[in-house]
Structure 1
Amino acid sequence: MSAATAVDKGQTGILHRYSDGLVAFEYASGTNPRSKPHSLLFIGGLGDGFFTVRFVADLVVALESTSWSFFSVLLSSSYAGWGLGSLGKDIEEIAKCVQYVRNYKQPQQGELSEVGKVVIMGHSTGSQDVLHYLYSPNPLPRNPQSDSCLQHLLRPVVDGAILQAPVSDREGLRVVLQSGTATDSPAVLAGIYTQLVDIAKRTCSDGGSVDVLLPLSLTSRLGYPADTAISCRRFLSLVSPDSPEHPSEDDLFSSDLTDDRLQETFGMVASRGLLRSKLLVLYSGRDQFAPEWVDKASLLQRWKNATDNNSKEQVWDAKYSGVISEASHSLIGDEEEEPRRDLVARVMAYFRNVEKCS
């Protein structure tokens, strides 16, 4: 039975409430998961939730006979909640889950037990969450522009971090605007985009603490789900209309960002001290959300240079990071068994190195 089929037929596990209204699902099949010292926390992308990313099943199967547990983490921004969310709120919720999992595993570890490791892995926009977790000030600063929902928590250190399919939302939308859709020409879409940016900027410039929703009749024309509400603040963060000169919070992976901007994000990972081992980055070779003009290998090299530039020790995992050949964004195709094997092999090898880190 394939990994995907196993999940299609149901999956046993434990549903954990790691904070008020927030849960994580720990996959378990036969083995007591609390006997496994190490934990992988998986954060999906826009619209994701439980069982929505196919290769998760492959990772779960690969981890069954190891000392690692797999947690699928739901945030308040999961499923259709992303349109009202923010990276700042996401990483505070991830911090709560990291602390919960450490506490959950700790009672099973005696003096001679192996110290448990916690790795956070982001898929797609989940990668933005992971990078934001690692490079942002800890705790997040208080300022008039900050999300009113933030609690300014101190985020715990993690033992490993993985970015998978870290593509740019801004550049993905740019492709739509240039090519048009089945119902709208590029010229019509440009007008809709300009109208939405104008509404969002005028609303946010008022400085109010209450966010405002954009018209679904307009956001859906740009390709966003017709049933997903998007706030002015999140829209501006995702489309980042003033980039590359003034990139938004969500604009972390665009190919036209300056080296100075990369130093403010990737370049801060080492100095923040929130990552004990190395950063693993896996880009899909046939990612349908990455524009054709993006040179994936060159982009990864720029990220690597920024990550390791100010570090005494190499932070970027140069051995296992790279482009997964023939992989789509979520590796969902039946013909993508080999790319999924490649992804799983790199992740498993990365885990072995994480286990060695003190």
Structure 2
Amino acid sequence: MGSTTPTHLPSFPGILHQYDPRLIAFEFAGSSGKTASSCKDRHLLLFVGGLGDGLVTVPYVPKLVEPLDKLGWGVIQVHTQSSYIGWGTGSLVRDDEDLHKAVEFFAHLGGSEYNTRKIVLMGHSTGSQNVLYYLSQSSLDNHLAAAIAQASVSDREGCYNTVGIDETHKLLAWVQNEYIDKNLGDDVLPRSKISHVMGDTPISANRFMDLVSVRGRDDFFSTDLTSDDFAKTFGSLKPITGTCKYSQLALFMSEKDEFLSKDVDRGELVRRFQQAIRPQSSNSVFSGVIPGATHNVGNSSEPGALEWLIEHVVEVLRHL
């Protein structure tokens, strides 16, 4: 029998935290040796991925560890119930509850309080929807010093780019008639009907409508949305609980994002988002387009893309 050479993938030292009886988060170890547990004034970047993401599936996350460690910040990737394939039967509300549990856990780990440890939430792709929901629509407390949205693209328009607008609308009408109107929104849709759109992930009718319908619950970043639509998200940021201050919000769009139509002006889209932010004092001066970056700033990105992202994340944190 032939033999295959094993693929040598990296290992990542760190601490696995259980922030809820069924939920975990991984704290990457930096060379300083400082951790959230051992250093009560250690500031923290909590990272949440997009649809299908789990630990280290977004390649730039481990690359943030050393630059942020030098700055006095730790990097923690948060698993929610929506990680990997869990997103298909989840919702932004459920994600928000999980993320608030994580913020609460890490804010007090080591005996710290909210007013001594800064926490920043960074979302990639659909994780950007988690970020914006947290800041603008959540009914729960806000204790974030800042938030970062990277690759905030529209899942609805991604569906248009995959199967076309007409086919998308046909699917939406079918789901509405066969599931939503019959109070079967929590039922999982047959793979034979939607796998060409959503892949092999089991997805409920409700989640499909949230992601794909016009002004659905997840429809935050579509290019055809109006200023009135953006006013309900970017324009409705809530203050940090117990203060008159607001979280900073930084937006990082990828120039070569493969999930965004090529005819979309990335810079103009970021400017539209920024113009909608209220209060304007939340508008980070470090927002912008990552030159040559793919959706997740992976290996197909042009030289310098990763360095740009790291530099700008560092600057966001440095100026808090």
User: TM-score, normalising length from structure 2?
Assistant: 0.89
Q: Check if 1:161 corresponds to 2:120.
A: no
1:279 corresponding residue in structure 2: 249
SS in structure 1 of the partner of residue 101 of structure 2: helix
Q: Which protein is richer in helix relative to its size?
A: 1
Q: Check if 1:69 corresponds to 2:74.
A: yes
For this pair of structures, how many residues does the alignment match? 305
Root-mean-square deviation over aligned CA pairs: 2.2
Q: Check if 1:333 corresponds to 2:299.
A: yes
Alignment of 1:1-358 (within 5 A): 8-29=9-30, 31-33=33-35, 34-35=38-39, 37-107=42-112, 115-136=116-137, 138-139=138-139, 154-178=140-164, 190-191=166-167, 194-195=170-171, 197-207=173-183, 211-222=186-197, 224-226=198-200, 228-240=201-213, 243=214, 247-269=215-237, 271-273=238-240, 276-308=246-278, 311=279, 314-317=281-284, 319-333=285-299, 336-354=302-320
Percent identity over paired residues: 36
| Structure 1 pair 195–280 and aligned structure 2 pair: CA distance change class (3 A) | closer
SS in structure 2 of the partner of residue 79 of structure 1: coil
SS in structure 2 of the partner of residue 55 of structure 1: coil
Is this contact kept in 2: 1:92–1:155, CA < 8 A? no
Deviation digits for residues 30-71 of structure 1 (CA, Å, limit 9, x no counterpart): 503132610000000000000100111211121232311111
Structure 1 position 207, deviation (Å):
3.6
SS in structure 2 of the partner of residue 95 of structure 1: helix
Structure 1 position 302, deviation (Å):
1.5
212-221 or 126-135: bigger deviation: 212-221
Is this contact kept in 1: 2:172–2:209, CA < 8 A? no
Is this contact kept in 2: 1:122–1:162, CA < 8 A? yes
Is this contact kept in 1: 2:297–2:306, CA < 8 A? yes
SS in structure 1 of the partner of residue 18 of structure 2: strand
Structure 1 position 191, deviation (Å):
4.9
Structure 1 position 155, deviation (Å):
2.8
Letter in 2 for 1:350: V
User: TM-score, normalising length from structure 1?
Assistant: 0.80
Q: Quick one: distance in 1 between partners of 2:189 and 2:173?
A: 10
Letter in 1 for 2:314: M
Q: Quick one: distance in 1 between partners of 2:65 and 2:270?
A: 27
Letter in 2 for 1:285: E
Structure 1 position 120, deviation (Å):
0.2
Deviation digits for residues 160-201 of structure 1 (CA, Å, limit 9, x no counterpart): 1000000000111111123xxxxxxx9xxx558614541344
Letter in 1 for 2:220: L
Q: Quick one: distance in 1 between partners of 2:156 and 2:146?
A: 27
Q: Which runs of 5+ in 1 are unaligned?
A: 1-6, 140-153, 179-185
Deviation digits for residues 280-314 of structure 1 (CA, Å, limit 9, x no counterpart): 00000010000123222222122111104xx3x52
Q: Quick one: distance in 2 between partners of 1:192 and 1:121?
A: 30
Q: Quick one: distance in 1 between partners of 2:53 and 2:122?
A: 14
